[in-house]
């Protein structure tokens, strides 16, 4: 089975703890196609969509949340909030259903080390994923 370019690129990225491109989006230094924003979360369309609808839900304060597996017990409320926002916006943009994905670490093909939920829909999603 061949490994896609996207996965190969992701495998080369390491969690350095440094600011990522998402910090620049949050700061407004790089534009995004915004879907929703509140005090805790920012939601914007993915620049390289894998489905007709593909947006990302991210925490505005990364606070060590480089990846899901770094989440601390005191961050459960933030995680719940992000999932709730993903569901709210998913229902609006993908009324027929949607898929939420979190890529975690190298084997998960994570490429940006600032926690993000992918929400994808607008077509029949297939299973199993690759």
The stretch among 34-42, 70-78, 90-98, 102-110 that binds ligand TR5 (CB under 6 A) is 102-110
Cβ atoms < 10 Å from Cβ of 39: 7
Quick one: which of 21, 87, 100, 125 contacts ligand TR5 (CB under 6 A)? 21
**What is the C-alpha R_g of the chain?**
14
Q: Which of 54, 114, 116, 118 is catalytic?
A: 116
Regarding 10 and contact with ligand TR5 (CB under 6 A), the answer is yes
Sheet holding 53-59, edge to edge: 34-37, 41-45, 53-59, 117-121, 98-101
40 binds ligand TR5 (CB under 6 A): no
Catalytic amino acids? 116
């Amino acid at each position: 089975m061949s490994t896609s370019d996207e996965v190969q690129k992701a495998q080369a990225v390491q969690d350095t703890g440094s600011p990522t491109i998402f910090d620049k989006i949050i700061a407004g230094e790089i534009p995004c196609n915004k879907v929703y924003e509140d005090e805790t979360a920012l939601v914007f369309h993915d620049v390289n969509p894998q489905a007709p609808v593909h947006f990302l839900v991210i925490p505005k304060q990364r606070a060590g949340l480089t990846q899901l597996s770094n989440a601390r017990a005191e961050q459960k409320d933030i995680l719940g909030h992000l999932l709730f926002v993903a569901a709210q916006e998913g229902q609006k943009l993908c009324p027929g259903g949607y898929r939420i994905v979190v890529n975690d670490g190298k084997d998960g093909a994570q490429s940006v080390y600032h926690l993000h939920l992918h929400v994808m829909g607008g077509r029949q999603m297939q299973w199993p994923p690759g």
